[in-house]
Amino acid sequence: MSKPEAVLPNMRNVTRKFPSFQIPGFNIIRTNKKAKWGLGILLPIVLLTALAPILPIPEPLVTNVSSSLQTPSLDHPFGTDKLGRDVLSRTLAGIKISLLVGFSVAFIALIVGVLLGTIAGFFGKTVDRVIMSVVDIFLAFPSLLLAIGLVSIMGAGWIPVVIAISFADVPRFIRLQRSLVISLKSRTFIDAARSVQASQFWLMSKHIIPNTISSMLVATSISAENAILVEASLSFLGLGIMPPTPSLGNLIQEGQMYLQQAWWISTLPGLVILAITISLYFLSDGIREALEPRSRK
């Protein structure tokens, strides 16, 4: 009786057996209490901001001096400022700017950081030294100080603010992604993929980057939180979003001289900033626990 012939595996399909990463959906995040709290705080704020144009409140730039410095009431839930402008309407407009800046910075930092961090960590040697030398230069400056310097050069406005804060945030993403790539590229499944002559692009796009997504998503949420705070600081200092365009930062700045007689002008936008940052903190911590179960206590 003849021996059965050995069945050789199809080498084209070998890489399909290697570990792959799938981004968990909101089903997983929904099971995390911290993520629930974060979404529970953030979603109503986002929804209210999106519905602002159809809400029965005045436009944010409409003035009415006869109604100046009115206390919070049914007609003006957040009161009015020195020019009689509705503080709620202006706060909602400021939230829109803050969220736009925060998520734009987070998106830019994620894309650029993952790309350059992967290249630096995967190829190493001269490429790594050049990229990390530039990163170290930017990291030598505090993020707020760097953003102030860049905005002073580029001018005020939300686009220069996004660019300035991104320059301060991208180096942190590059360093994090690089460290993750270095720890991954020596793993067994990467060696197995190399053994079947997988290309470098295939290794990075199919095995390296997908396995860093969980940590980078947490960093993205933290980046959005940080960007909102930096934007508010820049606008408070008169370097970010300039009046009459409302921003949470310049709303606080405008109301600081009226704190004793009209506390709501500064206090209520400040509480909104606090609520947004707390929600993003809970959300980022919840995402971390959902995507990295070992981090749960």
State the CB neighbour count (10 A cutoff) for residue 28.
Answer: 16
Query: For position 108, what pLDDT does the model report?
Result: 96
On whether the CB atoms of residues 24 and 217 are closer than 8 A, the answer is no
Round to whole Å and give the CA distance between 144 and 120: 26
Round to whole Å and give the CA distance between 152 and 248: 20
In the chain, the percentage of residues whose pLDDT exceeds 70 is 87
The domain ranges of the chain are 82-291
Structure tokens at 173: 């993403």
Round to whole Å and give the CA distance between 169 and 185: 25
On whether the CB atoms of residues 262 and 79 are closer than 8 A, the answer is yes
pLDDT digits 0-9 by tens, 258-286: 988 999 999 999 999 999 999 999 988 88
- For every residue of 165-182, DSSP letters joined together read HHHHHHHHHHHHHHHHHH
Residue type, 120: A
Round to whole Å and give the CA distance between 173 and 284: 15
Residue type, 148: I
Point out which residues pair with 86 in neighbouring strands. Answer: 80
Phi, psi of 80 (to 5 degrees): -130, 165
Query: For position 277, what pLDDT does the model report?
Result: 94
Round to whole Å and give the CA distance between 220 and 25: 16
Task: Considering the domain delimited by 82-291, tell me its CATH architecture.
Answer: Orthogonal Bundle (1.10)
On whether the CB atoms of residues 90 and 254 are closer than 8 A, the answer is no
Residue type, 262: A
Q: Is the pLDDT of residue 289 over 50?
A: yes
- Which residues are CB-neighbours of 21 under 8 A, at least 6 positions away? 210, 211, 213, 214
State the CB neighbour count (10 A cutoff) for residue 138.
Answer: 16
Query: For position 24, what pLDDT does the model report?
Result: 47
Q: For residue 116, give the nearest of 182, 168, 171 by alpha carbon.
A: 171
Instruction: Report CA dihedral (285, 289, 295, 297) to the nearest 10 degrees.
Output: 90
Query: For position 36, what pLDDT does the model report?
Result: 86
pLDDT digits 0-9 by tens, 120-129: 998 888 999 9
Residue type, 194: R
Query: Is residue 224 classed as helix, strand or coil in its secondary structure?
Result: helix
Query: For position 28, what pLDDT does the model report?
Result: 54
Cα diameter, the chain: 105
Mean pLDDT of the chain: 85
Stretch 235-251: mean pLDDT, rounded? 91
Query: Is residue 189 classed as helix, strand or coil in its secondary structure?
Result: helix
pLDDT grade, residue 18 (50/70/90)? Answer: very low
pLDDT digits 0-9 by tens, 136-194: 999 999 889 999 999 999 988 889 999 999 999 999 999 999 999 998 887 877 777 77
State the CB neighbour count (10 A cutoff) for residue 38.
Answer: 23
On whether the CB atoms of residues 229 and 273 are closer than 8 A, the answer is yes
Round to whole Å and give the CA distance between 211 and 34: 23
Residue type, 81: D
